[in-house]
């Protein structure tokens, strides 16, 4: 696409224009999601851990089964961590299940079984980082926090900076900019709804590979769109490999254990992966991570 002359590029964007347009778009296009329709703290927390690096379509069935089985932190904390890993299924990155279980134990022991409502209390929980603490405080408690997931960051960098992709990690300048964009106290669009709206715009319209600019409510004031979609000029963005990796091997071993209610012999794990050296390395890492347990009888279980 030919870039327009520099004189045709848009002036700095008025944040109120973004608030009005993106907020109205969200009113009309927001997906009905269980953690959004019922934004109680525990469902929001579970969803935030599950959605890390995992698309909504894969999370939904696991989330629904999880909430039916463990509707409260105390219900999860009462069961062994291996059951959480088993129920995590094929969502990937199973240490997230470990972290969620550890957080449930802490919530039960230290907060009377209720997910705490402040950023400071949330980030003190096991496995809860800056983004997750801000997201839970925002979406479950309507608190004012900058919530910067990948989708939000992509929307901001395209609209305001004219670049295709944000930096690999969040910068101070990026956080400061996001803070200035947050609707003020008493604004028509609440800060937590602004966070949800920008996140949804990035997920559905301003996507990484196939942005739907014709459907974007702010395309006419988007610097990247007005500049003709210039290609990313930073370090190469590498896709995540899967086939033949340790991640795939670990997943195969965990799948064997998930499918058995009883401990399994080593021979069952040996059949799951041909490369013996890689298999042993991955099994050792699963034991080190606490995702797999070696029983007194020499068998393996979650």
User: Does some domain include residue 239?
Assistant: no
Task: Flag the least confident range among 151-160, 189-198, 283-292.
Answer: 283-292
Question: Residue 132 has what pLDDT?
Answer: 95
Q: Are residues 103 and 156 in the same domain?
A: no
Q: What is the pLDDT of residues 28-54, one digit of tens each?
A: 999 999 999 999 999 999 999 999 888
Mean pLDDT of 197-216: 94
Is residue 87 domain-shared with residue 131, that is, in the same domain?
yes
Is 301 in a helix, a strand, or coil?
Answer: strand
Which residue numbers are catalytic?
Answer: 48
Structural element, H or E, at residue 257: helix 246-258
Q: What share of the chain is helix, strand, coil (3-state, %, to 5)?
A: 55, 0, 40
Q: For 217-240, what is the mean pLDDT?
A: 82
Asked if 108 contacts 77 with a C-beta cutoff of 8 angstroms, the reply is: yes
**Token pair of 138 as six digits:** 């925002």
Are residue 52 and residue 127 in the same domain, yes or no?
yes
Contact call for residues 30 and 41 (beta carbons, < 8 A): no
Q: Answer whether residue 80 is part of any domain.
A: yes
Q: Are residues 20 and 156 in the same domain?
A: yes
CATH code (residue 217)? 1.10.1670.10
CB 93 within 8 A of CB 80: no
Predicted local distance difference test score (pLDDT) of residue 239: 56
92: domain CATH number is 1.10.340.30
Same structural domain, 283 and 212? no
Specify whether 88 is located in the same domain as 58. Answer: yes
- Per-residue pLDDT, averaged over 232-237, amounts to 65
Q: Residue 120 pairs with which residues in a beta bridge?
A: none
163 is a domain residue: yes
Count of structural domains within the chain: 3
Residue 85 sits in which domain range? 38-141
Residue-averaged pLDDT of the chain: 88
Q: Name the domain boundary from 123, 141, 159.
A: 141
In a domain, 129, yes or no: yes
Calculate mean pLDDT across residues 148-157: 94
Task: Please indicate, yes or no, whether residues 66 and 212 belong to a single structural domain of this protein.
Answer: no
Read out DSSP for 270-300? HTT-S-HHHHHHHHHHHHHHTSSEE-TTS-E
Rounded to 5°, angle at Cα 281 from 276 and 284: 125
Could you tell me if residue 173 is inside a domain? yes
Same domain, 45 and 115: yes
Task: Find the helix or strand (DSSP H, E) in which 193 lies.
Answer: helix 191-204
The confidence band for 286, taking pLDDT boundaries of 50, 70 and 90, is confident
Q: What pLDDT score does 290 carry?
A: 81
Torsion from C-alpha of 185, 186, 187, 190, nearest 10 degrees? 70
For residue 150, pLDDT beyond 60: yes
Q: What angle do CA 102, 61, 253 make, to 5 degrees?
A: 60
| Domain-located, residue 105 | yes
- Rounded to an integer, the average pLDDT of 244-266 is 82
* pLDDT bucket at 6, cuts 50 / 70 / 90: very low
């Amino acid at each position: 696409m030919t870039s327009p002359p520099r004189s045709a590029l848009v002036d700095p964007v008025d944040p109120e224009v973004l608030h009005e347009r993106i907020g109205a778009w969200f009113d009309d296009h927001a997906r009905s999601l269980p953690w959004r329709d019922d934004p109680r703290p525990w469902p929001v927390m579970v969803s935030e851990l599950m959605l890390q690096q995992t698309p909504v379509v894969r999370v939904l069935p696991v989330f629904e089964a999880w909430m039916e089985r463990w509707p409260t932190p105390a219900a999860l904390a009462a069961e062994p961590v291996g059951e959480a890993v088993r129920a995590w299924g094929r969502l990937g990155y199973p240490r997230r299940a470990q972290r969620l279980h550890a957080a449930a134990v802490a919530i039960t022991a230290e907060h009377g079984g209720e997910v705490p409502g402040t950023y400071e209390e949330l980030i003190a929980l096991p496995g809860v980082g800056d983004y997750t603490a801000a997201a839970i405080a925002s979406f479950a408690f309507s608190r004012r926090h900058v919530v910067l997931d990948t989708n939000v960051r992509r929307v901001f960098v395209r609209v305001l900076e004219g670049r295709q992709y944000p930096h690999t990690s969040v910068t101070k300048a990026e956080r400061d900019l996001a803070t200035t964009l947050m609707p003020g106290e008493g604004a028509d669009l609440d800060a937590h709804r602004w966070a949800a709206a920008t996140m949804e715009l990035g997920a559905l319209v301003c996507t990484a590979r196939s942005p739907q600019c014709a459907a974007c409510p702010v395309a006419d004031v988007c610097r990247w769109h007005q500049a003709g979609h210039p290609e990313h000029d930073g370090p190469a963005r590498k896709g995540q490999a899967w086939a033949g990796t340790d991640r795939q091997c670990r997943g195969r071993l965990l799948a064997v254990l998930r499918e058995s209610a009883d401990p399994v012999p080593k021979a069952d794990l040996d059949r799951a992966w041909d490369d013996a050296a890689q298999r042993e390395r991955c099994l050792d890492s699963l034991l080190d991570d606490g995702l797999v347990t070696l029983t007194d009888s020499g068998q393996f279980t979650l």
